[in-house]
Amino acid sequence: MPFTTVGKENSGNIDLYYEDHGSGGPVVLIHGYPLSGASWEKQVAALLAAGHRVITYDRRGFGQSSQPTTGYNYDTFAEDLHKLVTQLNLRDFALVGFSMGGGEVARYLGKYGSKGVSKAVIISGIPPFLLKTADNPEGVDGSVFEGIQKAVAADRYAFFADFFKNFYNTDLLLGKRVSDQAVQSSWNVAAGASAAASLACVPTWYEDFRKDLTRIDVPTLVIHGDADRILPIAASGLRTAKLIAGARLLVVKDGPHCIPWTHADEVNPELVKFLGKGIA
């Protein structure tokens, strides 16, 4: 099992678990909360078939990565990603982020620039800025995030059960586009995440990515479902596409938050077409 060391906490290393498959044009897939790199299984298969080298990794605190109690902020997440792509010596690679992973894409390009990055994709992403402020009236009231933090702290297992109902819009899509077992599997992965990370990530959801987005200068595709209950498209995807120069927007009709799973039949062809064939 490959790991890359990104830091230390007291006597222990902070290691990120990653998987690196295939050959051709590299694509780095960055997962959402509270899952792991394994949540990309439908995209990994499609990208490998298209001739890409595909790298997935588990964010600190999640999946098989270390579970430190520190570093849950987007500057550190972007630094972790930078250390991974540096260790793997990636050139001309694409960054694809889902949900929270969209924040890594934005902050990475905002902080490190686009050297070595060929393209960017943000799916159901958290940018540009979710918190309601004087200069961001479209945002969500801070009390909503405080309520989520209280729910996670009180009983994260119960919180995750409710969260995944809206993650997959199970009232409409269960038995059609997502199975009970797939939802249970997501809950199992979430339950295995660090308790500290599960709580500490909530305030990162209202990070301000507006400046990061304006610095993105590579071809960018924004994909978002118009029935997303976790990150409504009007507050996130539509605004993100406007802030990135020349970005292409794909709206998935009736798509919930987790369109990489429920609407893989629509997401994958667009992803492969945008990224191109991995091997000439």
The residue among 84, 93, 86 whose CA lies nearest residue 26 is: 93
Q: Is residue 264 domain-resident?
A: yes
| Percentage of the chain modeled with pLDDT above 90 | 97
State residue 138's pLDDT score. 86
The mean pLDDT value for 173-188 works out to 98
- 193 pLDDT band (50/70/90 cuts)? very high
| Distance in angstroms (rounded) separating the CA atoms of residues 27 and 11 | 33
| Percentage of the chain modeled with pLDDT above 70 | 99
The mean pLDDT value for 45-72 works out to 98
The mean pLDDT value for 62-88 works out to 98
| Distance in angstroms (rounded) separating the CA atoms of residues 187 and 171 | 17
Which carries the bigger pLDDT value, residue 280 or residue 49? 49
CATH number of domain containing 156: 3.40.50.1820
Q: Is residue 46 domain-resident?
A: yes
Amino acid at 92: D
pLDDT at 279 > cutoff 80: no
pLDDT at 8 > cutoff 50: yes
Please report, to the nearest 10 degrees, the dihedral formed by the alpha carbons of residues 224, 227, 228, 230 taken in order: 170
- 280 pLDDT band (50/70/90 cuts)? very low
Q: Is residue 243 domain-resident?
A: yes
Cα–Cα distances in Å, from 42 out to 45, 97, 116, 203?
A: 6, 14, 26, 29
Pairing of strands 26-30, 53-57: parallel
- Cβ proximity of 34 and 189 under 8 Å: yes
Q: Is residue 62 domain-resident?
A: yes
State residue 164's pLDDT score. 98
- Cβ proximity of 256 and 32 under 8 Å: no
Q: Is residue 280 domain-resident?
A: no
Q: What is the mean pLDDT of the chain?
A: 97
The boundaries of the domain holding residue 218 are: 3-275
**pTM greater than 0.95:** yes
Query: What does the pLDDT look like over 89-140, one tens digit per residue?
Result: 999 999 999 999 999 999 999 999 999 999 999 999 999 999 999 999 989 8
Amino acid at 124: S
Question: How many domains does the chain contain in total?
Answer: 1
Four-residue CA torsion sign, 261, 263, 264, 265: positive
The mean pLDDT value for 205-233 works out to 97
Q: Is residue 197 domain-resident?
A: yes
Q: Is residue 101 domain-resident?
A: yes
The mean pLDDT value for 41-58 works out to 97
> What are the helix (H) ranges across 39-136?
41-49, 74-87, 100-112
Phi, psi of 244 (to 5 degrees): -95, 120
Supply the DSSP symbol for 59: P
State residue 120's pLDDT score. 98
- 277 pLDDT band (50/70/90 cuts)? confident
Rg (CA), the chain: 17
Q: Is residue 52 domain-resident?
A: yes
Q: Would you please indicate which residues are annotated as catalytic (active-site) residues?
A: 99, 228, 257
pLDDT at 219 > cutoff 80: yes
State residue 228's pLDDT score. 97
Q: What's the token pair of residue 157?
A: 């297992």
The mean pLDDT value for 158-169 works out to 98
Query: What does the pLDDT look like over 257-266, one tens digit per residue?
Result: 999 999 999 9
